[in-house]
Chain A
């Protein structure tokens, strides 16, 4: 079999040729060649860089906080997926063989921490990434506030950011409700009482969010599991993409 050395001509006889004869690969394949040539591509210069302006340098490192929140979110997603293989969202009370009060969710936590290889590290990463993400989101909001980057034309992005802050707090709250220990119990109680305090719709709201008007049945574990693992990730991922996309469209508000 003679080969000419040109990948385009040779592919007829190869794996790529098999694909190429069935799917419209060209010009998409060609694009990869172009992408490889991004070696010398430049990021656009910021306003201050372009005009070599005198800047107040100490604001600039704070602009990485949004990125840190995003990286923490990625870490949370990955460690969350790993934890999800082992966590059992059942909070119903049981008595075990030696007479202690326990529940399946808590037992799965014990297995993660003690039996799964590196389980404690994964749980630790998830825990710390959560705290880092919430701190980064809050500090990012402070930075945007103090540098006035919420002003026209970025009001929509600010509103998105506030919603993201609230959803991040909801993520955190739903997260530490899941291990079904006493902290979860206390926090769930507070949450249920706060929901029930709404006039007229209080009990309905508590049942909607927590599944029951008190923590006895343990149903809140399952409900918050679904919120934490499916509903919130979907919404938050979409909003994060929108938030970062708006920044990409409008440009970063520089601090000078």
Chain B
């Protein structure tokens, strides 16, 4: 085919940057053809997926093992997707167990298995009633912080529940020098509550912060509270008799150092959260968190070299049983302080995403009535919002806020114009031009 026909077929008909504005646009792209474009795209995806499956089948053969034996003694671990249910089953022994109607035909034994069944049903019930609980109109995850935080709590809970189901494996694998499990059963039971709660609060604060709201009112009690609880926990370890076992006392120095590395970032972060502005808090928490993390990892590497493997074992035997407070609290505390004070990228773009393109702003804009463009009506709002303007809409806007007055979502469009114009000037200065 001649080059012109080729260009025509390939270049002109493509969806792309619109060159026409206004209601009389005629260059609407009707969509991507099913064949060959869409079909090819789907075929490639399916091919890739199947190839991955073939690869896995060839190199990672699924396990078969010996035939079933009724007196099985080895520890079996069900497939990963059912572990959460097994974990709930195992944790059900904390519930009271009793028998109702003993001896009658309706004898009901409220044992651990029963409570486990009930617990496993809770996520199912929650999922089923979800659309009837949450009837709000907001779909964007960043604009629905509660829903997103609850979702993340759910995922964290499923994860910790699955972890709990393999508590025997964990207990066998990791032992402290005196033979006890490094992460005891009680600690793992607390995994059901504490990490999900931390995940939920942190994600809530981080998402609210996207709207550039001052989250100090939430951050302060949260981080300060975590620091306080951590301090109480550390004091508890040292003060209560038997808190720090007799065998661990010779290693009190490395234990102290480890606790300091974990505790100091929290203290520093809480301290700056009280009075300092957000920028300071962000910098401090970045440094504190980074140093704390790096410091702790370095500590775990250096200590066995300096003082022998047993030392690390004893240090971990103090830390890991209290993992919830000593490890998760500083992690989430400093992270939340950072997430809750950072400056989101373009605040205004986040707010502008509320727009559902009703067009009232365009109708009422006085400039559109006098300015022409290709097809009558310079679409200031739309084109600035989508950044598809060559500068004319941005500077032609009168900032009279007629659009904001009429917007059903109360988007303050003139704030956006202000931000964009300031950016232009900042850019001009940054390009080596004189500052205006």
Contact = CB atoms under 8 A, between A and B. Distances in A.
A213 interface: no
Contacts of A72: 49
A247 interface: no
Contact of A169 (B54, B81, B141): B81
B68 interface: yes
B276 interface: no
Interface string A33-56: 000001111111100010111101
Interface in A183-217: 183-187, 190, 193-194, 196-200, 215-216
Interface residues of B, number: 79
Nearest to B78: A187
A151 B108 contact: no
B159 to A, nearest CB: 12
B18 A182 contact: no
Given A176-B79, A190-B78, A158 B130 contact: yes
B302 to A, nearest CB: 39
A82 interface: no
B104 to A, nearest CB: 10
Interface string B102-121: 00001111110110110000
Contact of A182 (B72, B79, B109): B72
A236 interface: no
A123 B151 contact: no
Contact of A101 (B62, B69, B353): B69
A38 B35 contact: yes
Given A72-B49, A148-B138, A190-B86, A124 B58 contact: yes
A135 B56 CA distance: 15
B135 A125 contact: no
B57 A45 contact: no
A113 interface: yes
B131 A155 contact: yes
25 contacts: A38-B34, A43-B31, A52-B386, A52-B388, A54-B385, A93-B68, A93-B70, A100-B66, A109-B64, A123-B62, A128-B60, A147-B140, A148-B141, A151-B134, A152-B131, A165-B127, A166-B124, A173-B79, A183-B63, A185-B70, A190-B89, A193-B113, A194-B116, A197-B113, A199-B107
Interface string B41-76: 010011001101110111011111111111010101
Contact of A124 (B61, B108, B134, B388): B61
A240 interface: no
B23 interface: no
A142 interface: yes
A194 B46 contact: no
Interface string B90-106: 00000000001000001
A42 B76 contact: no
Given A172-B82, A187-B76, A199-B100, 9 more contacts: A38-B35, A45-B29, A107-B67, A128-B53, A146-B141, A155-B131, A162-B127, A162-B128, A199-B108
Contact of B31 (A44, A101, A141, A181): A44
A198 B57 contact: no
Contacts of A106: 64, 67-68
A197 B114 contact: yes
Contacts of B139: 147-149, 151, 253, 255
A67 B155 CA distance: 22
Interface of A: 38-45, 49, 51-54, 56, 64, 67-68, 71-72, 75, 91, 93, 100-103, 106-107, 109-110, 113, 120-121, 123-125, 127-129, 131-132, 134-135, 138, 141-142, 145-152, 154-155, 158-159, 162, 165-166, 169, 172-173, 176, 179-187, 190, 193-194, 196-200, 215-216, 218, 253, 255-256
A124 B56 contact: yes
Contacts of A102: 67
B76 A183 contact: yes
B148 A146 contact: yes
Nearest to A53: B357
A112 to B, nearest CB: 9
Given A56-B353, A75-B53, A197-B114, A43 B68 contact: no
Nearest to A74: B46
B34 A181 contact: no
Contact of B35 (A39, A53, A68, A193): A39
A133 to B, nearest CB: 10
Given A68-B49, A128-B53, A200 B386 contact: no
B386 A121 contact: no
Given A150-B130, A186-B76, A169 B82 contact: yes
A216 B124 CA distance: 31
Contacts of A38: 34-35
Nearest to B62: A127
A52 B18 contact: yes
A189 B139 CA distance: 43
A211 B129 CA distance: 32
A253 to B, nearest CB: 7
B363 to A, nearest CB: 16
A146 B151 contact: yes
Interface string B1-45: 000000000000001001000000000011111110010001001
Contact of A42 (B31, B57, B113): B31
Contacts of A64: 45
Given A45-B30, A149-B139, A198 B70 contact: no
Contacts of A197: 109, 111, 113-114, 116-117
B109 A113 contact: no
